[in-house]
Structure 1
Amino acid sequence: MSIDQLVRVLRARWLTLALSIAVCVALVAGATQFMEKKYSATATVVVDIKSADPVSGAVVMPPATANYLATQVGVINSNRVMRRVIEFLALDKDPAHIAAWQRSTGGHGDIKEWLCGFLLSRLSVRASHDGNLIDITAIWTDPAMASKVANAVARAYITTNLELKVEPAKEYANWFGERTTTSRDALEKAQIRLSEYQRSSGIVESDAKLDVENARLAELSTQLVALQGITADSASRQRQTSGNVDTLPEVMANPMVGTLKTELARMEAKREELAGRVGSAHPDMQRADSEIAALRERIAAESKRVATAIGTNNRINQERESVLRSALEAQKRRVLAITKQRDEIGFLQADVANAQRAYDLVTQRLAQTSLESQSQTANVMVVTPAVTPLRPVSPRPALNILVALMLGLLVGIAIVLVSERLDKRVRSESDLRDALLIPMLGGVSAA
């Protein structure tokens, strides 16, 4: 069928087409009058993704806005938020909702769980594509209730958002509280071990005491080196006493020996003088010889005494060297012992320092998480609260009538085409030619 034929058919059966449109419009208009009116209220919240932490002041790198807002939309549509809305509005105590729950479930199950599904079916949550806004729309038969539900959902979402931030902080605060007790006990034990070791070793300030003992060790070492030189010198002089002692410096410097030698020289000079005058048998010569022999004996005895004193002095030096060497070894052992004690104290002090650092760190984190657990600031704010709508969003009479017109037109065209096929008539030359299948020679006009 061509367009021209269709137009001719519609013109011929316009009454059927008009009746179909009228019937559809009447039905839709009647149904619209009986449809329940629904009102829509929207509350808009803004999510601050880049806000700094109010406790630490640190700015956390924000996540992808789309992903973050999608997560927040999921939070709003969660049963946790819906249960809080039910609590805010006391829907589980409302007789109308209780009756609806009983009709729907026969009184079985949890009414709050049923109300969560009921609320979610009446909510529409959309996040903006180019911002941080989230629209929370509630659709209700009561306009005032629609605005109450939208605002209650926004309020419940803000409260839940804060709880989701605070609850982990509370758990961390409890955990750090336990760790604080453990760290404090570890610090106290480390300090007790250090104090007991210092008390048992008698070391309070190990570095100062070690410096004193090192100074003593250096002094003893210096004294030993000096005494070794003295002992070597006295040993050398003692070895010289086995030969001619008259050449020893100590003997030559001895005043008694010097006096006796002077007296000996005087007596020898006197004897020489007597020898020129008298003979050897003369009493004066014999007395002079006797005195000279006595002087020589005294010089020999004094020289021997000096040599003996040199040996005694050498033995004393050797004994002093032995005693000083023993003292030096004892001081070395003492310094090594103090060094070992200092190292042990160093280890204990390091344990105390590590325990102190751990305790300070845990205490700091405990204070921070405690503050975070008490935070009352959320990163979500209501930008536009929902207001009571004045006009319903459903039904829409004009839209329904327009749809009815289009539907009636389509139904009418379908009825006309079916009727035309059942009762086909000749309305044009082409219809006649198609019906008779013979050529047309001419036509007679209506005039």
Structure 2
Amino acid sequence: MLSVRTLLRVFVGRIKLFTLIVLSVLVAGFAIALIQSKQYTATAQVSIDVKANDPITGMPVSGLLAPSYLFTQADIIYSQNTALKVVDKIGITTLPEAIAQYEEAKVGSATIRDWYAELFLKSLEVVPSRQSNVISLSYTATDPVFAAQVANQFMKAYIDMNIEMRTQAAQSTSEFFQQQLKVLKKRVEDAQAELSKYQQETGIVASDERLDVETQRLNELSSSLVQAQSHTYDAKSRAQAGTNAPDVLNNPLIQQLKAQLSQKSAKLHEVEEKLGPNHPQYQQAQADYLETKNQLNQLQAQYSQGLGATANNSAATQASLKAALQEQRERIFALKKDRAQLSVLQQNLDNAQKTYDAALSRQAQSTLEGAMSGQTNIFPLKYASPPKSHSAPVLRNYAAVALLLGLVLASLIVLVVEYFNRRVRSADDLSDFLGVPLLVTMPSLDQRKSVLTKLKGRGK
């Protein structure tokens, strides 16, 4: 393996060959650059308003704020549909020389429009800005005027494509909602009909007056039942007391008969003591006493029976009120059940109406969006103009590549030549080549001349 010093000696020894090869490659590179056709690059720029608000709702469009939005727009520019629009606007497919170029290419099943669209895309470069919302469209061609024309047409086709995508999406949405509105309207009508039918069947209106009246009636029945229960308990207590009931004892007529009976009893004892039990006056007094006693017993029995009848009537009234209260409760439960069903039907109607209103609003919004065909958030920032200088070939690029290639090629050739035609360039090379140690070296002619000159100087 050659050392670094040996390699330097090799390159110095064959410097002419090395220089000749490098210069040859440089000349060839310049020649290639000069014989190549000049390419011109025209650039157009568009600005995208990513903070644009929806023209219908006035709300900001959240999708425009996504980081990938600019790259998505760049892909739209660099798409087949956009390129086809450019082909149609330029009208290149009708030019005889373009048709001849297409036939000469023999592209198979691809149409002339598709072929030229692919050809345009190969020379198009789309670069989204990293620090702004600007997209640059650069097109390279041999004709500067044609390059500017294609770049501008790509910019216009992109704007038209953006508007077309928005309007087509809005129109499709509007058609969808038009179909859905028919279904939603039918649901609203069915819900309204079901609600009206149920109201007619149950007799319930929108207000809660009937339920309030029935609830008030329930409260009144409950209060009356409590009073009846109290009256029944009191009546039964008096009926169970019989002749000892306060109503019987405190009756004026009974008290009067008791007083008369007491008087007649005293008179009877008096007559019995004076005249004896067989005397006619005693018998008369006894008859009066028994008659008054019978009247008292009959009157007490009559009043006692009245208390029992009152207790029975009060119990019957209590049972009637209890049955009426239970019936009223069931009626209220039925009303509440009907009211709950009515609320469900009303809620179904409200939901159907809200859905219909939302769909109607969205359909109107989509219709307006579809009608706004000229609205877009993309604005031309710079129209491409024919470039004054070519963009390719760049001589300095070719020179740099040729120089690098020449250095590599010259180095390889020098090493190959040195390998097949090895020369002794130093004492170390001789020792390595012969494989024997070096004992002495003869000075070179220049070295000897230098020594002689020094000696002559000393002799003087």
| TM-score range relative to shorter protein | 0.7 to 0.9
- Please show how residues 277-288 of structure 1 align to structure 2 within 5 Å: none
TM score, norm. by length of structure 1: 0.73
State the AA in 2 paired with 1:223: S
Q: What's the counterpart of residue 62 of structure 2?
A: 60
Q: Within the alignment, does 1:312 sit opposite 2:309 as a pair?
A: yes
Aligned twin of 1:157:
158
Q: Which position in structure 2 is the counterpart of 1:380?
A: 378
Change (3 A) 1:402 1:343: closer
Distance 2:27 2:265 in 1: 181
Among the aligned pairs, what percent are the same residue? 29
**Gaps spanning 5+ residues in structure 1: where?**
none
C-alpha distance in 1 between matches for 2:27 and 2:267: 185
Contact 2:26 2:403 in 1 (8 A): no
Q: Secondary structure at the match of 1:43?
A: strand
Shift of 1:79: 0.9
Describe how 1:388-427 pairs up with structure 2 within 5 A. Answer: 388-393=386-391
Q: How has the CA–CA distance of structure 1 residues 344 and 81 changed in structure 2, closer, same or farther, with 3 Å as cutoff?
A: same
Q: 1:98: how far off? A: 3.2
Mean CA deviation greater in 365-374 or 199-208: 365-374
- After superposition, give the CA deviation of every residue in 1:151-177 in whole Å (9 maximum; x if it has no partner): 110111122233344444443443344
- Structure 1 residue 52, shift from structure 2 partner: 4.5
The size of the alignment, in residue pairs, is 413
CA displacement 1:155-208 (0-9 Å, x = unmatched): 111222333444444434433443333333223323322222221112224744
Quote how far apart the aligned CAs of 1:260 are: 4.0
2:433 aligned residue: none
Larger CA deviation: 69-78 vs 364-373:
364-373
Q: Map residues 229-308 of structure 1 onto 2, 5 A cutoff.
A: 229-241=230-242, 245=243, 247-261=244-258, 290-308=287-305
Whether contact under 8 Å (1:28, 1:404) holds in the other structure is no
Alignment pair present for 1:341 and 2:343:
no
1:343-382 matches, cutoff 5 A: 343-374=340-371, 376-382=374-380
Q: Secondary structure at the match of 1:387?
A: coil
**Do the aligned residues in 1 keep the contact of 2:145 with 2:386 (CA within 8 Å)?**
yes
Looking at structure 1, the residues matched to 402 and 316 of structure 2 have their Cα atoms a distance apart, in angstroms, of 136
Tell me the distance in 2 between the aligned counterparts of 1:77 and 1:159.
Answer: 14
Supply the distance in 2 between the matched residues of 1:296 and 1:226 (Cα, whole angstroms): 38
Find the residue that maps to 2:62 and give its secondary structure.
coil
Shift of 1:442: 6.0
Structure 1 residues 264 and 390: alpha-carbon distance in aligned structure 2, compared to 1, 3 A threshold: same
Change (3 A) 1:78 1:266: same
Query: CA offset at residue 116 of structure 1?
Result: 0.4
Identify the match of residue 321 of structure 2 among 321, 324, 330: 324
How far the C-alpha of 1:89 sits from its partner, in A, is 2.5
Q: Assess if the C-alpha contact under 8 Å between 1:50 and 1:61 holds in 2.
A: no
Q: Which amino acid aligns with 2:333?
A: L
In structure 1, the partner of 2:149 is: 148
Question: Any stretches of 5+ residues in structure 2 without a counterpart?
Answer: 1-8, 431-441, 450-460
Q: Which residue of 2 aligns with 1:133?
A: 134
Please say if residues 47 and 132 of structure 1, whose CA atoms lie closer than 8 Å, have aligned partners that are also in contact. yes
Instruction: Tell me the SS of whatever aligns to 1:386.
Output: coil
CA distance in structure 1 between the partners assigned to 2:177 and 2:199 by the alignment: 32
Q: Separation in 1 of the partners of 2:364 and 2:214?
A: 47
Q: Distance in 2 between matches of 1:265 and 1:404?
A: 157
Name the TM-score, length of structure 2 as normaliser: 0.71
Cα distance change on mapping 1:219 and 1:441 into 2, 3 Å: closer
Structure 1 pair 27/369, CA: closer, same or farther in 2 (3 Å)? closer
Q: Cα RMSD between the aligned structures?
A: 4.7
**Whole-Å Cα distance in 1 between the matches of residues 355 and 398 of structure 2?**
76
Q: Which amino acid aligns with 2:337?
A: K
